[in-house]
Amino acid sequence: MTDGPLIVQSDKSLLLEVDHPQAGECRKAIAPFAELERSPEHIHTYRLTPLGLWNARAAGHDAEEVVDTLLTYSRYPVPHALLVDVAETMARYGRLRLEKHPTHGLVLSSTDRPVLEEVLRAKKIAGMLGSRIDADSVAVHPSERGNLKQALLKLGWPAEDFAGYVDGEAHTIDLAQDGWTLRDYQRDAAESFWHGGSGVVVLPCGAGKTIVGAAAMAQAQATTLILVTNTVSARQWKDELIRRTSLTAEEIGEYSGTVKEIRPVTIATYQVITTKRKGVYPHLELFDARDWGLIVYDEVHLLPAPIFRMTADLQARRRIGLTATLVREDGREGDVFSLIGPKRYDAPWKDIEAQGWIAPADCVEVRVTLPESTRLAYATAEPEERYRLAACTREKVGVVRDLVARHAGQPTLVIGQYLDQLSELGEELGAPVITGDTTVRERQRLFDGFRSGEIGLLVVSKVANFSIDLPQAEVAIQVSGSFGSRQEEAQRLGRLLRPGEPGPDGERKVAHFYTLVSRDTVDADFAANRQRFLAEQGYAYRIVDADDVQA
């Protein structure tokens, strides 16, 4: 047997030993077809999925290459069934092709007639297809291109899309690299997106996803529609684009609840697009307002369902999705892949940290013991009330106060889910509170104050989960969250990971992330689930008792 760094498991997971001399080489070799699932400190887990294998086919790798890679790097014999399965799965890709036909427009064709016959008989697909052209091809309604691809993927016969992309309305966009340069991984990410046509780029929070978006725009040289989560985030995008590219404020429009500008580069919020009036989406025309050459989806893991449907109609336009955490508790990762595109770039958080682009973080779970009376109340509470009861215990306030005191002088965020709890904390700590009810202007004022250092402590609700750029923040204390959401936990930690400037002693900052959990309650169970994503990215949580913190 060889002494390779890779162990191929029969359940199709691949274990990569990180400290092995060949690990880097092996990582590069398996990256095209295997999905990185977990990257803790010693052994990284990849997984072979049909989707990943088909993406590899789309990128021009064949089954023989995959099998050879596995055999080359595998330390132990590779189960035959797995190799057969890889070959069979990959052989399913490309039997069907979506092509542009000179007279019939978009057609679905196949060299393998039984496969075509099989999918034509699928009920889900019937409505998407037009008339049969000949034995091997059938017309497709152009508007169904995305839906059809999605449905074929579900049937297990993914179509290779040869129909190409529209160039869109040209618009000059250049990166203004004055005093900064594109980081290697950002360039890699932008390029692998561009070669792939469409797809998703996964980078940790604070690693500069906006710049990847800007680089993609510079590649496209076309009018661009950017979809973001909220207005604050839209403003940040605008500022960042003005700073990093040749675009001027006049070329960038904002399309939100308050302002409706359509300019060569338009930034719209998910909220305004998904607003429904009298059963219709009045802002849908935005997608057709210009001949967009590129559509950017920020925080693609949050993409709401209506946007999925709208995106299905935009398959001819290039699309880039940006996210730090492509985990959805609703399990719709597959839709992201089939509608936005496959994952084009992924970097383990710890790798970026090792390169110094994001700050190292110290994650601590603080276990709070409930007093007898609260436990009794908890034990007898209705199941749906339990989490709230456990998460909002008074005990946490004291611990938060101690933690804030310990990190006096370091900009601190207190993050929670429940407004009562947040306002209670705000009063106790004498700190301003930002929730969904806070006006955009007030929010901007408080965030600016925080950035400039006037405000050292903010209590925020989930509005600050995403896309809020607070590079100064060094400490975050999480008191409650939306149940077991893994990506929320990661996004909240992400608020702290902007590296910031080195201090006077040359030391870079170390972020501190505290999460307060009530012992022996559902709070603790949810916390365990929430931490999984980060733990799998190699963030080791320490668990301490509240008494130890206070001592």
Partner 1 sequence: MEGVEAAPGRHRSLADQLRSWPDERLRRLLIERLDLATPAPHDFSQLASRAAVRTSLLRALDSLTRGQLSVLDALVVAGQTSTSELASIVSASPGYVTAALDELQLRALVWSSPEGLRPLTGVADCLGSDPAAGASGLRPRSATPRPAAELRASIEELSPEARALLDHVIDAGGLAKASTTRTGIPPDQASTPAEELTSRRLLQSGGSAHPGMLVVPGEVGLVRRGGRTTLEPVDVAPEIAAEPRSPRLVVSAAVGAAGEFVRRTELLLQGWGESPASALRTSGLGVRELRAAAQRLGVEPKEAALLAEVASAAGLLGSRADADGNPVWVPTDDFDAWCALPTAERWVVLARAWLASPRLPLLVGERGPDQKPWNALTPELAAAGMPEAKTMVLTELAALPDGSGPAAGTGLPSLVARLAWLRPRRPRTRVDLVTWAVEEAARLGLTGAGVLTDYGRALAREEDPVPLLAAVVPAPVDHVLIQADLTAVAPGPLEPELARRVQQLADLESHGAAGVYRFTPASIRRGLDIGWTGSEIKEFLAEVSRTPVPQPLDYLVDDAVRGFGRLRVGLATAYLVSEDEVAVAELVNHPRASSLELRRIAPGVVISTLPIDVLLPRMRDLGFAPVLEGADGVVRVGTTEQLRARRPRESRGAARAAAQSAAQIEVALRTLREGEADAQRRPASASSSGGAASALRDAIERRGRVEIGFTDRQGVIAERIVLPLRVEGGELRARDDAADADDPDAVRVYPLHRISRVTPL
Residues that bind partner 1 (CB under 8 A): 1, 7-11, 13, 15, 17, 38, 40-43, 45, 67, 71, 74-83, 365, 372, 375-376, 378-380, 383, 520, 532, 535-536, 538-543
Tokens representing 242 are 């003005």
Least separation in angstroms between CB 407 and partner 1? 20
Least separation in angstroms between CB 55 and partner 1? 22
Phi first, then psi: what are they for 102, rounded to 5°? Answer: -60, -35
Residues 6+ apart with CB under 8 A from 481: 391, 415, 416, 417, 462, 488, 489, 492, 526, 530
Q: Are 34 and 14 in contact (CB under 8 A)?
A: yes
**Long-range contacts of 130-137, Cβ-Cβ distance < 8 Å, separation of 24 or more:** 130/104, 133/101, 133/104, 133/107, 136/109, 136/110, 136/111, 137/101, 137/104, 137/107, 137/108, 137/109, 137/110
- Closer CB to partner 1, residue 81 or residue 354? 81
Least separation in angstroms between CB 284 and partner 1? 42
Tokens representing 119 are 């999918």
- Closer CB to partner 1, residue 383 or residue 453? 383
Tokens representing 297 are 């989806």
- Closer CB to partner 1, residue 33 or residue 533? 533
Least separation in angstroms between CB 14 and partner 1? 10
Least separation in angstroms between CB 77 and partner 1? 4
- Closer CB to partner 1, residue 76 or residue 162? 76
- Closer CB to partner 1, residue 4 or residue 499? 4
- Closer CB to partner 1, residue 45 or residue 266? 45
Least separation in angstroms between CB 184 and partner 1? 27
- Closer CB to partner 1, residue 260 or residue 519? 519
* Beta-bridge partners for 202: 323, 346
Q: At what angle do helices 145-155 and 305-312 cross, to 10 degrees?
A: 110
- Closer CB to partner 1, residue 380 or residue 452? 380
In DSSP notation, 356-391 reads TSS--EEEEEEEEPPPHHHHHHHHHS-HHHHHHHHH
Least separation in angstroms between CB 478 and partner 1? 16
Least separation in angstroms between CB 45 and partner 1? 7
DSSP secondary structure code for residue 164 in this structure: -
Phi first, then psi: what are they for 435, rounded to 5°? Answer: -130, -175
Q: At what angle do helices 80-92 and 63-73 cross, to 10 degrees?
A: 150
Q: Are 392 and 480 in contact (CB under 8 A)?
A: yes
